[in-house]
Amino acid sequence: MNYQTTAEFAQQLDAEDKLSAFRNEFLIPQHNGHDAIYLCGNSLGLQPKAAQQYLTEQLATWQTKAVEGWFDGDKPWLDYHKQVASLVAPIVGANDSEVTIMNSLTVNLHLLLVSFYKPNNKRFKILMESGAFPSDQYAVESQVKFYDLDPKDAILEVKPRAGEYTLRTEDILKAIEENKDELALILFGGINYYTGQVFDMPAITKAAHAAGAYAGFDLAHAAGNVPVQLHDWGVDFACWCSYKYMNSGPGGISGIFVHEKHHQDRSLKRFAGWWGYREDKRFLMQPGFDAAIGAAGWQVSTSPIMLLALHKAALDVFEQAGGITALREKSILLTGYFEFLINNINETHGREIYKIITPTTPEARGCQLSVICNYKAKEIFSFLVSKGVIGDWREPDVIRLSAVPLYNTFNDVHTAYLALNEVIKVIDI
CATH at residue 252: 3.40.640.10
Q: What is the mean pLDDT of residues 178-202?
A: 98
Of 323, 307, 322, 405, the closest CA to residue 51 belongs to 307
Q: What is the mean pLDDT of residues 339-358?
A: 98
Q: Is the predicted pLDDT of residue 74 greater than 90, yes or no?
A: no
Terminal Cα-to-Cα distance of the chain (whole angstroms): 31
Q: Is the predicted pLDDT of residue 166 greater than 90, yes or no?
A: yes
- Are 225 and 297 within one domain? yes
Domain boundary, last residue among 267, 299, 320: 320
Summarised one tens digit per residue, pLDDT across range 284-337 is 999 999 999 999 999 999 999 999 999 999 999 999 999 999 999 999 999 999
Domain boundary, last residue among 257, 290, 320: 320
Q: What is the mean pLDDT of residues 83-101?
A: 98
pLDDT of residue 80: 96
Cα–Cα–Cα angle for 328, 233, 218, rounded to 5 degrees: 70
Which residues, 6+ apart, have CB-to-CB distance to 248 below 8 Å?
45, 242, 307, 310, 311, 314, 315
Q: Is the predicted pLDDT of residue 237 greater than 90, yes or no?
A: yes
In this structure, what CATH number is given to the domain that contains residue 343? Answer: 3.90.1150.10
The whole-angstrom separation of Cα 399 and Cα 374 is 11
pLDDT of residue 144: 98
The whole-angstrom separation of Cα 187 and Cα 141 is 12
Q: Is the predicted pLDDT of residue 56 greater than 90, yes or no?
A: yes
- Are 232 and 243 within one domain? yes
Domain boundary, last residue among 320, 337, 357: 320
Cα–Cα–Cα angle for 20, 24, 28, rounded to 5 degrees: 110
* 77 within a domain of the structure (yes/no): yes
Of 340, 307, 312, 318, the closest CA to residue 410 belongs to 340
The chain-wide mean pLDDT, for the chain, equals: 97
* 308 within a domain of the structure (yes/no): yes
- Are 74 and 206 within one domain? yes
Q: What is the mean pLDDT of residues 175-199?
A: 98
Number of domains in the chain: 2
- Are 314 and 332 within one domain? no
- Are 27 and 129 within one domain? no
pLDDT of residue 266: 85
- Are 293 and 365 within one domain? no
Percentage of the chain exceeding pLDDT 90: 98
In 106-166 the beta strands, taken as DSSP E runs, fall at 125-129, 155-158
Q: What is the mean pLDDT of residues 116-124?
A: 97
Q: Is the predicted pLDDT of residue 73 greater than 90, yes or no?
A: no
The whole-angstrom separation of Cα 424 and Cα 298 is 52
pLDDT of residue 380: 98
Which residues, 6+ apart, have CB-to-CB distance to 336 below 8 Å?
1, 3, 362
For residue 75, name the pLDDT band (cuts at 50, 70, 90): confident
Q: Which of 35-44, 285-294, 332-341, 377-386 has the lowest mean pLDDT?
A: 285-294
- Are 372 and 297 within one domain? no
248 phi, psi to nearest 5 deg = -95, 0
- Are 314 and 351 within one domain? no
* 193 within a domain of the structure (yes/no): yes
Q: What is the mean pLDDT of residues 188-215?
A: 98
Percentage of the chain exceeding pLDDT 70: 100
Q: What is the pTM of this model?
A: 0.96
- Are 112 and 247 within one domain? yes
Say if residue 396 is preceded by a cis peptide, omega within 30 of 0.
yes
Q: What is the mean pLDDT of residues 200-213?
A: 98
- Are 222 and 332 within one domain? no
- Letter for the amino acid at 225? N
Summarised one tens digit per residue, pLDDT across range 4-32 is 999 999 999 999 999 999 999 999 999 99
DSSP letter (8 states) at residue 360: S
The whole-angstrom separation of Cα 4 and Cα 320 is 31
The whole-angstrom separation of Cα 205 and Cα 214 is 8
Domain span including residue 360: 7-35+323-426
- Are 99 and 139 within one domain? yes
